[in-house]
Amino acid sequence: MYRKTFLKINLDAIKFNLEAIQAVQKKKAIAVLKANAYGCGAKEISEVMVECGVEMIAVSSLDEAIAMRNFGYKNELLILGHVDPINIPILIQNNISTTAYSFNWVLEAVKQNCKNLKIHLKIETGMNRIGFTNLEELKQAYDLLSEAGCLIEGIFTHFACAESDEEKTLNQFSLFKKAYESLNHSFKWIHTDNSYASVSFKDSLTNACRIGIGLYGYQDNIALKPALSLYSQLFYVKQVHKDETIGYGATYTAKEDIDVGTMPIGYADGFIRANQGRNVYIDGQMCEVVGRICMDQTMIKLPSQIKEGSLVEIFGSHIPLEEMANDLNTIPYEIICLITSRVSRVYIKNNEVVKTENEYLDLSHHIR
């Protein structure tokens, strides 16, 4: 790591969070590692999941699933999103389960040789994203897949408001249960719960829960450990005089002589321009981001005693990620998924750095 801008990922906290949620739910865990494990590194997080005995990992696309296999992950693997039926041979060859979500998709799928294709049926219950909406079509699709030799191992839905609307969640579950009962099939995997519902929603039908953001400690219905923190470093400190402006568009004017520091992080790293005016944490003090955030650099108004080389916390133990998300009118998911690959990932285990990963440095062994 040559640039001191990094996302610190505490693997012990992730293990703790998984075990805490499972202790409440007491069901099989499906670890949702979409979008490169929410930007935290699918390879590294999957290794923790395997250590913890997780049987299945879920991803969003065939690209992500193949990447998991290339990483060496050998356990159960489910694609939650769309896969073009023309790629069914790749699914079978790599032992990847996929989602059947509509009658038209099934009609195209059975045109392929889909014997031994592992299928999870997605039921639409109120999210209105993907999923079977008609019980008659669901039954016809089930029959077609069975006749084609597919292995129909799972059935699931997705709650839209698990954290905010109990009545809607109960209604969704009722619709899901009706679809499940209409098929009279013994499913290996029956799952409705996301991270929040894994703790707050109880039922006797499902046997697995999908845990995503909860792995990183960002849900408020159970005591978890935040696993992520984002840092940069002041590399330059200078004085800006009264009435001078800072940044593109000259949007900030110094009302007096001030010290300003620059850190090597910008919107190309996922630190978006909406963070202008928010605080970062440096040497025990909150310091304001001044001027427009640049592609690669950000300026900060400093107390006079802060020096070059000081560590800057963007979110972490002093600035909770949830607070940052609230300030930006978004959710923790979005913030961490926006952190780009040029930000180094630093993995912590037993209070020690065990690995530093940066895609830009994959070929660094060629540089001396």
Q: For residue 97, give the DSSP letter.
A: B
How many whole angstroms separate alpha carbon 151 and alpha carbon 234?
56
Residue 295 has which token pair?
């592609």
Quickly tell me which residue has 């059935």 as its tokens.
155
Q: For residue 333, give the DSSP letter.
A: H
How many whole angstroms separate alpha carbon 300 and alpha carbon 284?
15
Whether 234 contacts 306, CB under 8 Å = yes
DSSP letter string, 285-316: EEEEB-S---SS-EEEEE-TT--TT-EEEEES
Residue 278 has which token pair?
């928010």
Whether 48 contacts 15, CB under 8 Å = yes
**Of the listed 15, 28, 34, 177, which one is catalytic?**
34
**Of the listed 111, 202, 236, 248, which one is catalytic?**
248
Reply yes or no on whether 216 is catalytic.
no
Whether 216 contacts 228, CB under 8 Å = yes
Residues ≥6 apart with Cβ < 8 Å to 298: 232, 262, 263, 265, 266, 271, 275, 289
Beta strands in the chain (DSSP E): 6-10, 28-32, 56-59, 76-79, 98-100, 118-122, 151-156, 189-193, 208-211, 228-233, 236-240, 245-246, 252-253, 258-263, 279-282, 285-288, 298-302, 311-315, 344-349, 352-357
Reply yes or no on whether 248 is catalytic.
yes
Catalytic site positions:
34, 248
